[in-house]
Structure 1
């Protein structure tokens, strides 16, 4: 037994024939020939026929005779549809009810006639049975002129009304009827329950619809109502109407023009084999098995559907060719029966077996193909798609995963699911799959040319990560400058002390100098002191120009390095960061950093100028007079000494030193002491300048701290922008989850800032502050406790301004305390500078803050879920969210690690929804996943004895749940057999309906 199981087929469940009791407009002559030809040629092809007549089965029996004669070969199922008129009034007549009779019982005609005799109509002081004779007799009582049986039958049929309560009692009293008859009622206004308008009859309407198994209706609104997709839920339908109902529609033809041509081409489609059991199955699963429309519901794309699997050169497979359904295929069987073997072989034909399976030489993998590799020989699997494409692969993997292969199915093997959902924590694989689904939720035009999630995320966040890097560099540079200012602030008292020391020292030197002056030369000494002062001023000016010159030379080096190395490297970095610009090398040249002016020429000019200024200050030494000739004064008494050159000043001072003392020793002492005084005065001037600079350090430091806070504000703005970019990246999936129904509603996606305040504080306590010192931060953990309370909440949810304010307040509050715990004093310049820089990087860093998305199930992050629940999340991804992937989905035992209730509650609806969009092939031991998902095809695997040194013989049979033999196999394998099933029900004290 090998069929594709349940497939959509066109049924005509309500059609009259020539000779129908009432309203027969088929005409005479060749009416039957026309009628049969119409059924044979209608499109879509009619495969099941519900032959309808009022109260009788005679026309049904005539159709059977034509079938036996070779007519309507396309029709595989013919069954009686006996139309009854209830005594309940509708809008334009009476409510019609139909008895759809299974033809499976060879004696069904006699049985249904016997059933009908129990329906009686009282009139004229008499009782009339629902039989041909009873109807004829009633017609003649109504119209005595109706001598012809045919005319009397028609009159009787118009008058005979079935009491609803009587019909219900007769049906419920008959085991045969309950097993072989399905009740249908018209849902239209004219002759259906919708026409029961009086408020007093509302209860009657509900009772009739509750009693019915099927509603004859063709509108979308009716179908959605009766399948729980409108205002009334499935639970409410169960309570009020005994459950959902399938809606069917027929042509209700009373003439040949409308045979098989329902109004607006509203054809009836039943999913299943062309058997009456398919109709019973449609009653059990109305939403999935009955449909009224021009075409049946869309399923997987034909190009993606595996239509059949053939196992070649494999004598151990006694069923080498297996047709596959396009919907949900359930593979069942006892342990070791070959279930996983079939799934593995199909996956191999789709190039979907992981390379690790083929590379497993020790047989560690649970894969059948891995363990059977040495035994499969020349075995091959050939897959034929519904679109007629064919793929063939060896079962030992020799031609697997070639450079041109592409997985044409997604295979969730047991090993794959275990790896992704291991108890050790949410693996990278699971997160990768989540990201893949998020990526594919974006339309192609919105992917910005990215090939995967990581690339798209890079596109969206790259600019903000660059911004973070720039601000981190800026904070470091500003922190260095702040450290400089802190050093200067710390040296204020030192500068004061040094200045006083210098002043005292110079005063002492001046007193010593006065003692060296020979009496009568006081005027020359005063002149010498004035010249010395002027000389120090000119030397200071010369030194300033010399410093300026060194700067110009350094700038020349900087310019050369920038042109030769720095600017080209910056351009290369920009090109690397923006590879998708599409700019040519010529266009990129425009982005090369160049100086605005001709800086080379400018710097040469600056050097020439500064050299000239230095030369002017230095001057040319005067020519010394001949021996024995006194040197005349070189500078007039009223001349501006500050305008003299260094050379002239020094020469004039030398002349005066000779006049001050004739004693060479004294003269040399005077000259040396004068130079010393000059030098100390220069040092004093430098100290006073440094003091002035240090006195402004506090204000400059405050401005720099504001600047650093501005940079931190921008840094955190980049963090928030990155977070928003991720929110936008995940928006398509988040929007879908927001409007989802069912199990998928338990999924939620959040983009959050994750803050590790402990690592932030631990770093400081380990490397920046001495927790052994007394103070607020004494002892390890004192800093983290404050950070958790004062900073972490705003880091997690605050705006950039909020974070800036909080960090600023934290620093202001604890700055002195943190300095007190610093391992270095500000006077330890080099060490303190390095510490200060590291301290600023720490305070204003964001390494402990990152943005991540959290996929939660039922409010719990997937990282904290059990392996079984992670498995549900994984299946949600593949079954409900992964719309972009329409390839077949092959799953080996999705129920692993799940309890039966979770399987029913969480997974069943997922499989039902998924099978309408893609082919799903599932290996399972769970009855819920076969029966409650209404599997379209069940493949039963059976293994024979295990041959020594070989593989056991494997046999497969298949069919749909409407097939009694398949249902028996399902019960035997998944429930332990009917006796075991009923024994469990007895022990649980559950009452089973037959």
Structure 2
């Protein structure tokens, strides 16, 4: 027995036949040939018929005679539908109720008539049983003029009303009835329970619907109600109505033109084999096994369904051809029976076995069947036929696997794959990669912006913000270096002040010494010499300043040449690398080459020429030696308008007149030169002192600028965090709206501040914790940072982070500096240390953005391997909507207890099989029974011969097949309990 198991077939559950007792409009001549031909030619094909008549089974028996004569070859199952009218009034008559009788018992006609006979109707001071003879008597009592038995039967049928309580009692007292009869009730407003509208009858209506197994209705709203998809939940349906109910609809034909043609083509479809037990299964699982519509529900696309597998050149496979159901296929069997072998062989035909599955398996991971049996399967092949008609053949030893043109046409979650992704050693990159793949594929192609995978999409969404972080971090580094320089200048104020005072004192002393060298009568020359000396010093200062400017201009020329030659081209290359998706051609990119706004070459050359001219103008031309008694400079001239050479020449002339003594004259000249040198040094110190005094203000401005840069880094971090959160938005929306197991899965994006690494670096590399102070002990800095900064680093806004860091530095900077390993007097070392310190204090590389995947509130990294397996199944079964390929899974219940399997996995498989073919190897009864597996393949292996493979055979069918149910119960632990759980609260017996 090898069948595809549960497949959709058209049933006609409510159709009358010629000779029906009431409203027979098929004609008085023999209408059977036309009637049967209409059924035989019906499209879609009718494969199951419930022959309907009122209170009796005569037309059903006639129907069977025609079937036995060779008619209706396409109809595989025929059974009686006995229509009764209850004594409960509806809108346009009385509520109709149907007894659908299983034909499995050869004596079912006699048994059902025995049941009917127990129904009585009291009238005319008499009791009438529900039999043809008694109905005829009732008709004649109602109209004594009737002589014809047929007419009397029809009238009696219109008068006979079944008492609902009596019917319920008769069915309840009959073991045969409970086993072989399903109750259907009309759900419409005319002769159905919807027509029972009186408030006093609400309870009666509910009791009737509770008693019924099936609702006859084609209404979409009614179907949604009865399977718990509308206003009433499944739990409420169980409480009020004994569970969900399938809705079915027939043509209710009373005339030839409507035979097999329900209004609006509302055909009834039942998923299951062509046997009565399929109807029982539809009562157990109405949502997935019963449907009313023009076509049955679709599942996986035919092109993505493996419809048939054939194994060739493998004499150890005794059933080499196996058809496969497009829904959920469960492969069961005892240990070593060939379950995984079949999954491996199917996966090999799909090119779905990873390279590691063919050999070289990790010693900690069990080998696949094909790897273990490689020496025995040389030459064996597997041929898969796909629903679209394509066939693919592959060698089972893997020699033609993973070729350059092959691609996996199925997803295979082998034991090896799951063990590798969910090993006890910790979460693997493979699992994270799979999660990221599902996240990526949850986005529409338009949203993916040409990205090929999650990594590319993430980089596209976040690179802008990462670049902003890098720019601000570089800016902070530069600013910190400048702040360190300003701090160093601040520390020099006292020293420079002292040096200025010393220079002033020295100049005063030198000037006094020079006065002592003068001889009486030379006072006028001395005053004039002093004036000239001061004027000369001013000019020298100008020349020195111009010389500094000139050197800067020359350095700028060098910088411009370097920027043009290497700097700007390199910046352009880096920009091109960062923005590879811009689509700009080389010519367009050239527009982004940084150039100077003006003609800087010309400007710098003119600046140098200007400086040279100014220096030349200040120096003036050489003055020839003249009469020492004749003044070179008139007394009333403005000395600031004279060149330096003329002033120096006049000073030289005066020095010769001041003292005739050569020795004194030389001393005077030397002192004058010394005074000029010290004045020059004094000016330098005064400039530096002024600069140092201004350092505090500049440092505060720089610190404010650094704080702003620090805040902008966190703005970029926040933007990156939001961009990552947007990546999860489509998936998060689904999870938020989901229920059950899927709701346990969550994704979050958050900042992580590694205060430990941040603080440890300072404690180990920067601070001298041997010094007494607030941060003397190990971990004291980490504790302070944890208290003051960790929380705001992780959840604060940019402004809050900036404020927190400002407060932290205000509180602890002095204390931190007190633990410097160098004294400020060690200028070089201390300068380098302060820069390193500033770089550390405002670094942000310890702040990372991490997305976390949690299951039931626990980070996936902390889950057990088994629970990680559940997360993996969540991905493939519930979230991986974009992948419609077959999903092949080997033992998904591994490491889970039976209750967890039921709670966590059953609903996932039920949802997944609606959109893709799922083939699973399992030992768990819940995954077969409570998922309502569409096909069960039972594997069995014979004795294992020495040096070879044991013979392996397979049988297949659906749960509606008693032999398959027996195999499920015999093989799978908990099978009986699972069947009872599935059928509890239903009056449907599921014998094995």
The bucket for the TM-score relative to the shorter chain is over 0.9
Equivalent residue number for residue 235 of structure 1: 235
* 1:191-241 superposed Cα distances (whole Å, 9 cap, x missing partner): 111222222222222222222111111111111111112222212221222
SS of the residue corresponding to residue 606 of structure 1 reads helix
Structure 2 gap segments, 5+ residues each: 983-988
Structure 1 contact 975–981 (Cα < 8 Å) conserved? no
SS of the residue corresponding to residue 972 of structure 2 reads helix
Following superposition of structure 1 onto structure 2, how do residues 892-911 of structure 1 map, counting pairs within 5 Å?
892-911=890-909
Higher mean C-alpha displacement, 899-908 vs 91-100: 91-100
The reply on whether 1:129 has 2:126 as its aligned counterpart is no
* 1:103-136 superposed Cα distances (whole Å, 9 cap, x missing partner): 1111211221122122222222222221111111
- Structure 2: how far apart are the matches of 1:359 and 1:280? 47
- Structure 1: how far apart are the matches of 2:810 and 2:602? 49
Following superposition of structure 1 onto structure 2, how do residues 380-779 of structure 1 map, counting pairs within 5 Å?
380-624=381-625, 630=628, 632-779=630-777
SS of the residue corresponding to residue 824 of structure 1 reads coil
Equivalent residue number for residue 988 of structure 1: none
Equivalent residue number for residue 794 of structure 2: 796
- Structure 2: how far apart are the matches of 1:398 and 1:522? 116
CA drift at 1:630: 4.5
Equivalent residue number for residue 193 of structure 1: 193
- Structure 1: how far apart are the matches of 2:707 and 2:596? 31
Higher mean C-alpha displacement, 112-121 vs 880-889: 112-121
- Structure 1: how far apart are the matches of 2:516 and 2:947? 122
Structure 1 contact 352–410 (Cα < 8 Å) conserved? yes
CA drift at 1:983: 14
- Structure 2: how far apart are the matches of 1:613 and 1:862? 75
> Could you tell me which of 840, 843, 849 is aligned with 2:841?
843
- Structure-1-length-normalised TM-score: 0.96
- Structure 1: how far apart are the matches of 2:646 and 2:391? 106
> Could you tell me which of 906, 928, 931 is aligned with 2:929?
931
The reply on whether 1:780 has 2:778 as its aligned counterpart is yes
- Structure-2-length-normalised TM-score: 0.96
SS of the residue corresponding to residue 445 of structure 1 reads coil
The reply on whether 1:97 has 2:97 as its aligned counterpart is yes
CA drift at 1:633: 3.2
Following superposition of structure 1 onto structure 2, how do residues 8-407 of structure 1 map, counting pairs within 5 Å?
8-360=8-360, 365-407=366-408
CA drift at 1:764: 1.9
- Structure 2: how far apart are the matches of 1:233 and 1:982? 22
Higher mean C-alpha displacement, 219-228 vs 885-894: 219-228
- Structure 2: how far apart are the matches of 1:154 and 1:75? 29
- Structure 2: how far apart are the matches of 1:235 and 1:118? 35
The reply on whether 1:887 has 2:885 as its aligned counterpart is yes
Cα distance change on mapping 1:984 and 1:257 into 2, 3 Å: closer
- Structure 2: how far apart are the matches of 1:983 and 1:131? 36
- Structure 1: how far apart are the matches of 2:412 and 2:979? 36
SS of the residue corresponding to residue 749 of structure 2 reads strand
- Structure 2: how far apart are the matches of 1:35 and 1:812? 98
SS of the residue corresponding to residue 624 of structure 2 reads coil
- Structure 1: how far apart are the matches of 2:543 and 2:505? 27
Cα distance change on mapping 1:993 and 1:330 into 2, 3 Å: closer
Structure 1 gap segments, 5+ residues each: 986-991
Structure 1 contact 487–827 (Cα < 8 Å) conserved? no
CA drift at 1:601: 1.6
CA drift at 1:84: 1.1
SS of the residue corresponding to residue 911 of structure 1 reads helix
Structure 1 contact 490–827 (Cα < 8 Å) conserved? no
CA drift at 1:868: 1.7
CA drift at 1:927: 0.2
SS of the residue corresponding to residue 105 of structure 1 reads coil
SS of the residue corresponding to residue 892 of structure 2 reads coil
Equivalent residue number for residue 953 of structure 1: 951
- Structure 2: how far apart are the matches of 1:467 and 1:197? 70
Structure 1 contact 139–156 (Cα < 8 Å) conserved? yes
* 1:288-308 superposed Cα distances (whole Å, 9 cap, x missing partner): 111111111120011101111
Structure 2 contact 357–416 (Cα < 8 Å) conserved? no
Higher mean C-alpha displacement, 790-799 vs 275-284: 790-799
- Structure 2: how far apart are the matches of 1:90 and 1:330? 46
Structure 1 contact 226–244 (Cα < 8 Å) conserved? yes
SS of the residue corresponding to residue 752 of structure 1 reads strand
- Structure 2: how far apart are the matches of 1:444 and 1:361? 36
* 1:6-46 superposed Cα distances (whole Å, 9 cap, x missing partner): 01111000100000011101113242111111111111111
- Structure 2: how far apart are the matches of 1:920 and 1:827? 77
SS of the residue corresponding to residue 446 of structure 1 reads coil
Q: How many residues align?
A: 984
CA drift at 1:400: 1.0
Cα distance change on mapping 1:569 and 1:984 into 2, 3 Å: closer
* 1:399-428 superposed Cα distances (whole Å, 9 cap, x missing partner): 111122111111111121122222333322
Cα distance change on mapping 1:581 and 1:833 into 2, 3 Å: same
Structure 2 contact 361–367 (Cα < 8 Å) conserved? no
CA drift at 1:982: 12
SS of the residue corresponding to residue 822 of structure 2 reads coil
SS of the residue corresponding to residue 332 of structure 1 reads strand
Q: Alpha carbon RMSD of aligned pairs, Å? A: 2.0
SS of the residue corresponding to residue 373 of structure 2 reads helix
CA drift at 1:828: 3.6
SS of the residue corresponding to residue 295 of structure 1 reads coil
Cα distance change on mapping 1:564 and 1:993 into 2, 3 Å: closer
- Structure 2: how far apart are the matches of 1:163 and 1:240? 22
SS of the residue corresponding to residue 773 of structure 2 reads coil
SS of the residue corresponding to residue 764 of structure 1 reads helix
Equivalent residue number for residue 989 of structure 1: none
Cα distance change on mapping 1:261 and 1:892 into 2, 3 Å: same
- Structure 2: how far apart are the matches of 1:304 and 1:562? 60
CA drift at 1:667: 2.9
Equivalent residue number for residue 823 of structure 1: 821
Equivalent residue number for residue 973 of structure 1: 971
- Structure 2: how far apart are the matches of 1:963 and 1:696? 95
Structure 2 contact 925–978 (Cα < 8 Å) conserved? no
- Structure 1: how far apart are the matches of 2:100 and 2:913? 30
- Structure 2: how far apart are the matches of 1:116 and 1:499? 127
- Structure 2: how far apart are the matches of 1:220 and 1:118? 36
- Structure 1: how far apart are the matches of 2:727 and 2:561? 45
* 1:675-714 superposed Cα distances (whole Å, 9 cap, x missing partner): 1121111111111121111111111111111111111121
Cα distance change on mapping 1:636 and 1:773 into 2, 3 Å: same
- Structure 2: how far apart are the matches of 1:12 and 1:909? 30
